[in-house]
Amino acid sequence: MGAKKKNGSGRVKVEIIKEQELQQIAKSDAPTQVTPEDAYSAGNWIEPPVMLEGLKRLVTESSILPQCIRAYKNNIAGFGIAVRYSVDEEETPEMAAEYTRMQEIIELLNTDCDTKKIFENIIEARETYGIAYLEVIRNLAREVQQIDFIRDTASVRKTQRLLPYIETNYYHHGKIAVRKKKFRKYQQQIGGETVYFKEFGDPRIMDNRTGEYLPEGTGLELKYQANEILEFAIGTEPYGEIRWIGQILGVDGSRRAEGLNNNYFLNGRHTPLMIMVKGGTLTDESFSKLQQYMNSIKGEAGQHSFLVLEAENVDGRADFDDQSKPEIEIKDLASILQKDELFQEYLDNNRRRVQSAFQLPDLYVGYTTDFNRATAQTAQEVTEQQVFQPERKSLAWIINNKLLNEYQFKYVEAYFQAPDISNPDDLYKLLTVTNNAGGVTPNLAKDIICEALGKASEPYEGEWADEPIAVGKNKATASSGGAGIENILTQLNGQIEKAQRQNETQELVSVMKEVRKMLRTMQEGEANET
């Protein structure tokens, strides 16, 4: 560039400045953020912040945690894993082949039990420890062949993410995306035996005996090659976050309260009574009887025992007058000290706090006394939307984008099935309103009813099946003697006979008969009007 300056003599001075070449700004191709893991200075291996074995014991001895965890397990993964198309296109042979292929893969991921059972175990461990692990076994084509749940979650240790950054391939909608990331190492030690694993997605070969990576181009027997671990954690901490950690004191307190209650019936929770002797003292024989009595009334056997005490003057005389007569007073301490009816209010409050940590209403943990049909329906809908549906989507994402990513599926995806919580009354109102507006067709009515029954629906054949019933009614009015509806009924009867010959399900035939009944009712109403 050139710049002009005017000096005092009127001459113009010109300065030439070299044009510099524009330099391309280089962007890092790997994450550069600092994580809390990077602050560990005691080595690469990270220890859990709490004793995981103790968490398992708390869950086992709790009166509410098992119910909450069971509700998560049953409602998130308990309805099974299914396959569906991820694109809205007309089915092609290639799409059908992919559909069948994914079904086979999911069914064979574990041959010892149903695949959904594996994920039920994952959820149970994750809700107990805050983290769960899955051992992944690949074939020679690096496709996931088998998965196994690691039962002893507490025995697994991990490193922080270790340098260097490793290039990995990620398949997305048929395209390959190259990414760089750091990977962990995992170690499991039980009874003096140690085995090493590598993190899921690590393309390097690791020796499962030493945890060392082999130099590129070096071979190793398959039995010594480390498998991969895929972890399922709550939150972002290295060992996850325990959902109910904020209620751990209440969980432990409830356990201790239950123990005290049990001890109350066995031995008494505290000193049950106080015996006061005024103006005298108990005889040696009475004191021995009292001591023997107190030691023998434990449990239910002593509920109806009674005690006779004798007292004497301080000087030991037995012949005393009314003025010097000793007085024995017995005070019940149990009724004074026992204010909370064996901690019932305390236990109930703790139970509600734990349920709040899981966002579960009473309905899902066996407390249903305050529910009616309307409130139960609302509780189910809210819990499905706020808790279970997001969890199902997260697990399904892991299956599709991690476990099965190497298969490069383009048209299908796996998903976790959900319960049908639709209200029949709402369905009836929807059909009524739609029919009154003239929008219900025989095929639409059939689809809605079949979906409510959980059955597959095949459309009726013929143009009449996609024509609103109200239109058919108008056509029937315009024709003589209701010939329009009669024509539809004739075709529908043919469809019913065809379904019966082909041994269709009874539910499907019943739906078709219901549609026929609806049309006949309309026909009768038309006849009455005329």
DSSP for 235-266? SSSTT---TTGGGHHHHHHHHHHHHHHHHHHH
Q: Is the pLDDT of residue 377 over 60?
A: yes
Average pLDDT of the chain to the nearest whole number: 80
Name the range with the highest mean pLDDT among 46-50, 438-442, 487-491.
46-50
> Would you state the pLDDT for residue 17?
47
- The CA–CA distances, whole Å, from 357 to 57, 136, 243 equal 19, 31, 6
Query: Once rounded to an integer, what is the mean pLDDT over residues 189-200?
Result: 94
What confidence score (pLDDT) does residue 525 get? 64
123 close to 72: Cβ distance less than 8 angstroms: yes
Of the two residues 506 and 478, the one the predictor is more confident about is: 506
Residues 172-190, mean pLDDT to the nearest whole number: 91
Q: What percent of the chain has pLDDT over 90?
A: 43
pLDDT tens per residue across span 226-272: 999 999 999 999 999 999 999 999 999 988 888 877 777 666 545 56
CA angle, 459 as apex, 453 and 464 as ends, to 5°? 125
Stated pTM of the model: 0.70
Confidence band (pLDDT; 50, 70, 90) for 295? low
C-alpha 166/C-alpha 182 separation (Å) is: 6
Cα–Cα distance for residue pair 298/301, rounded to 1 Å:
7
CA proximity to 312, closest of 277, 275, 281: 281
Lowest mean pLDDT among 171-185, 226-240, 272-286: 272-286
The type of residue at 64 is I
Residue type, 499: A
* Rounded-to-integer distance, Cα 105 and Cα 53, Å: 34
pLDDT at 508: 65
Query: Does the structure show a pLDDT above 70 at 504?
Result: no
What is the secondary structure of 354-402 as a DSSP string? HHHHHT--GGGGT--TT--HHHHHHHHHHHIIIIIHHHHHHHHHHIIII
CA proximity to 69, closest of 355, 352, 351, 346: 355
**448-462 pLDDT tens trace:** 777 666 666 677 777
Whether 409 contacts 102, CB under 8 Å: yes
* The two three-digit tokens of residue 487, written as one number: 């024509």
Whether 11 has a pLDDT exceeding 80, the answer reads no
Q: What is the pLDDT of residues 318-350, one digit of tens each?
A: 555 555 667 777 776 556 555 555 688 888 899
Nearest to 181 by CA among 170, 197, 172, 196: 170
Show the tokens assigned to 322.
């009314």
Amino acid at 44: N
Q: For residue 3, what pLDDT is reported?
A: 47
Most confident option among 88-92, 195-199, 280-284, 515-519: 195-199
The sign one gets for the Cα dihedral 384, 385, 388, 393 is positive
pLDDT of residue 509: 67
- 2 falls in which pLDDT band (50, 70, 90)? very low
Instruction: Calculate mean pLDDT across residues 412-438.
Output: 77
Please state the rounded mean pLDDT for residues 271-291: 70
Residue type, 51: M
* Beta-bridge partner residues of 276: 329
Name the least confident of 224-228, 278-282, 441-445.
278-282
The residue length of the chain stands at: 530
Q: How far is CA 61 from CA 64, 149, 153, 267, 396, in A?
A: 9, 24, 18, 21, 32
Name which of 31-35, 112-116, 296-300 the model is least confident about: 296-300
Q: Which residues fall within 8 angstroms of residue 352, CB to CB, at 6 or more apart?
A: none
Question: H-helix or E-strand containing 187?
Answer: strand 185-190
More confident residue, 4 or 314: 314
For residue 152, what are the CA distances in angstroms to 51, 53, 113, 333, 409?
A: 13, 10, 18, 48, 33
Q: Name the phi and psi angles at 235, rounded to 5.
A: 80, -165
Count how many Cα atoms sit within 13 Å of the Cα of residue 359 in the half-sphere of its side chain: 14
Per-residue pLDDT averaged across 504-523, rounded? Answer: 68
Q: Which helix (H) or strand (E) holds 156?
A: strand 156-159
Tally of CB atoms within 10 A around 16? 8
CA separation for the pair 109, 144 (Å, rounded): 8
Q: Please name which of 442, 469, 438 lies closest in space to residue 458, comparing C-alpha atoms.
A: 442
Query: In this predicted structure, which of 51-55, 240-244, 374-378, 458-462 has the lowest mean pLDDT?
Result: 458-462
pLDDT of residue 22 exceeding 50: no
Q: What is the pLDDT of residue 505?
A: 60
Please say if the pLDDT value at position 145 is more than 80: yes
Does residue 306 have a pLDDT over 60?
no
* Distance in angstroms (rounded) separating the CA atoms of residues 407 and 285: 89
pLDDT on residue 292: 75
pLDDT above 80 for 65: yes
- pLDDT for the residue numbered 234: 95
Q: Which three-class secondary structure state does DSSP give residue 53?
A: helix
Q: Report how far apart, in Å, the C-alpha atoms of 294 and of each of 260, 270, 273, 454 are.
A: 19, 12, 10, 66
